[in-house]
C-alpha cells in the first residue's frame, strides 16, 4: 500500500529535539501542502504533540526514495541539520505503519499508557489533513479504522480503567469510600491546577455540591464560578465550615497544617461522627496526619496516592498486553481487506487483457479454420474463447486472493495451476522442450 510513517517521540528524542521539529497549528496547513506534492507523495498527515512528531504519507515513489523525500521534508521545513535529527527518527512502512498508527491511536505508545488525549490529537491531525485536501483513499480508510480500533481497545480491555493522576486517584478513593457521590459535599482547599482538575473529576463523578476554600478570595471565587456558581470561602472561615464536607481535598502551598487536629475533632463532633475522607495532595502536607487515628476519619497523603498510581500503572501494563493482541489482529485484517479491495480492478483488467489476446489470436488463425458460418464463428468467440478465459482466470483469482494473505504477497503459478507434477516430469525428461511439445500432435495425428 506504499505507506510510510517517519517520526520521533518521547522515547527516541529529548524535548530539545521534539520542540524544534514540532508543527504548530498555524503552520500545519502550509506544511501539509508542502509535503503532498501529488507526484511522489499522494496523501499525507502530520501528528504533532508535545510527545511526538510523525509524518504519515501514501507515496508513489520507491520505498527508499519515499524515505528520503519525507526525511528531507522534515529537515528542510524546520531548517535543521540532518545530523541532529536523523539519529532520533523511526521509520515504519506498509503493515508496520498500519500497526503503529493503531497503537498510537489506542494510546499504547503514549508516555502514560491508556491516556485518552492522544486519540483526540490524532483525530485533530486527521481533520486538519482532510481540511487541507491531502487525504485520499488510503488514509480515508486507515484513520477511521484506527479510531474504531482505539475504541475497541478501551472497551474490551481495562487499559483506561485505572487512574494514574493524583486528582483522579483522589476522586476514585472518594468513590470507593462513599460509593455514590451524588449526595455528598466536597471541599477543595486550594484553587490551583490540581484543585481545578479534582473539581472536574468530582463533577464528572456526579457530585452536586463543591465548596472552594482558598487564601486568595479572588481565586476561590473564580474556581467556584467555573463550577457553576459553587460556594466559596477564605481559609479563615474554614474551621467553622469544615464539618459541611464529606470529602476534603487539600492542595495548597501552605507551609503549615491548614487542617489541624483541633479543627478535625470539632468537625467530627458537629457531624455526629459521620465519616469524612481527607486527601492531602500537598507537600508540605496541609492536613495533620495524626488525625488519621480518629475513628471515622480516613486520611490519605501524596505517598498513599503515589502507591495507588504505581499499582494502577502496573494494571494498565497488564491490560496493554491484551490490547497488543487486538492491535495485531486488527492490523492483519485491515491490510488483507485493503489488498482484497484492490483485486477487483486488477481481476477486471486481467480478464479484459486475456479476452483481447484470445480474440486477436483467433483472428490471426482464422484462415486455418476453413469456412465457418457467422453462427459458428460467434459460438467460438463467445463460448469457446470465453470459456477458456474463465477457466484460466478462476485459479488465477484464487491465487491472487491467497497471495493477499501471504507475507511476501507472491502468486505461486505452479500451485494455482497444479503444475508441480508436470514440472518435475519435465525436469526429469532430458528431451528438449520443443520436441516434448510436438509429441502429442504426432500421437493425435
Nearest alpha carbon to residue 334 among 4, 45, 98? 98
Half-sphere exposure for 7 (CA within 13 Å, toward CB): 28
Cell numbers at residue 50, please? 508535545
> Contact, 299 vs 264, CB < 8 A?
no
Beta strand residue intervals within 257-356, DSSP E: 276-280, 297-300
C-alpha cell at 207: 457530585
Catalytic residue among 39, 50, 283, 423: 50
**Interatomic CA distance for residues 7 and 303, integer angstroms:** 37
- Beta-sheet strand order (sheet of 41-48): 41-48, 52-59, 3-9, 90-93
425 is an active site residue: no
Grid coordinates representing 353 are 487483457
What DSSP string describes 5-37? EEEEETTTS-HHHHHHH---TTTHHHHHHHH--
> At which residue does the C-alpha cell 503532498 appear?
36
Q: Is the peptide bond before 284 cis (omega within 30 degrees of 0)?
A: yes
Catalytic machinery residues: 50
Amino acid at each position: 500500500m506504499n505507506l510510510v510513517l517517519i517520526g520521533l517521540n518521547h522515547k527516541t528524542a529529548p524535548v530539545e529535539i521534539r520542540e524544534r521539529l514540532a508543527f504548530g497549528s498555524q503552520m500545519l496547513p502550509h506544511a501539509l501542502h508542502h509535503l503532498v506534492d501529488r507526484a511522489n507523495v499522494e496523501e499525507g498527515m502530520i501528528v504533532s504533540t508535545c510527545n511526538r512528531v510523525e509524518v504519515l504519507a501514501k507515496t508513489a515513489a520507491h520505498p527508499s526514495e519515499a524515505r528520503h523525500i519525507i526525511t528531507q521534508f522534515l529537515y528542510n521545513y524546520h531548517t535543521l541539520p540532518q545530523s541532529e535529527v536523523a539519529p532520533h527518527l523511526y521509520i515504519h512502512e506498509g503493515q508496520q505503519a498500519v500497526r503503529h498508527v493503531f497503537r498510537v491511536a489506542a494510546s499504547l505508545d503514549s508516555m502514560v499508557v491508556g491516556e485518552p488525549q492522544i486519540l483526540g490529537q490524532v483525530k485533530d491531525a486527521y481533520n486538519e489533513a482532510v481540511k487541507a485536501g491531502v487525504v485520499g483513499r488510503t488514509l480515508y480508510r486507515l484513520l477511521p479504522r484506527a479510531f474504531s480500533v482505539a475504541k475497541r481497545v478501551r472497551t474490551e480491555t481495562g487499559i483506561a480503567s485505572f487512574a494514574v493522576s493524583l486528582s483522579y486517584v483522589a476522586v476514585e478513593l472518594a468513590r470507593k469510600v462513599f460509593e455514590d457521590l451524588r449526595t455528598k459535599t466536597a471541599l477543595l482547599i486550594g484553587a490551583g491546577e490540581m484543585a481545578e482538575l479534582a473539581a472536574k473529576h468530582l463533577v464528572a463523578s456526579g457530585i452536586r455540591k463543591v465548596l472552594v476554600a482558598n487564601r486568595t478570595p479572588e481565586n476561590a471565587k473564580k474556581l467556584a464560578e467555573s463550577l457553576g456558581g459553587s460556594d466559596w470561602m477564605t481559609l479563615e472561615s474554614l474551621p467553622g465550615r469544615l464539618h459541611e464536607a464529606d470529602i476534603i481535598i487539600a492542595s495548597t502551598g501552605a507551609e503549615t497544617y491548614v487542617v489541624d487536629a483541633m479543627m478535625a475533632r470539632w468537625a467530627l463532633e458537629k457531624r455526629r461522627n459521620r465519616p469524612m475522607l481527607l486527601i492531602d495532595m500537598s507537600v508540605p502536607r496541609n492536613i495533620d496526619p495524626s488525625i488519621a487515628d480518629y475513628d471515622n476519619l480516613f486520611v490519605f497523603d501524596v505517598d498513599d496516592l503515589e502507591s495507588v498510581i504505581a499499582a494502577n500503572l502496573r494494571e494498565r501494563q497488564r491490560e496493554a498486553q491484551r490490547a497488543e493482541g487486538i492491535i495485531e489482529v486488527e492490523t492483519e485484517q485491515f491490510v488483507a481487506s485493503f489488498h482484497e479491495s484492490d483485486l477487483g480492478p486488477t481481476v477486471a483488467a486481467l480478464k479484459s487483457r486475456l479476452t483481447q489476446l484470445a480474440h486477436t489470436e483467433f483472428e490471426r488463425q482464422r484462415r486455418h479454420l476453413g469456412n465457418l458460418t457467422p453462427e459458428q464463428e460467434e459460438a467460438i468467440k463467445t463460448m469457446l474463447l470465453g470459456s477458456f478465459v474463465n477457466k484460466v482466470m478462476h485459479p488465477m483469482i484464487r491465487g491472487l486472493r491467497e497471495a493477499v494473505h501471504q507475507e511476501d504477497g507472491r502468486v505461486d503459478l505452479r500451485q494455482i495451476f497444479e503444475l508441480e507434477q508436470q514440472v518435475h516430469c519435465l525436469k526429469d525428461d532430458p528431451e528438449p522442450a520443443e520436441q516434448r511439445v510436438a509429441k502429442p500432435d504426432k500421437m493425435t495425428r
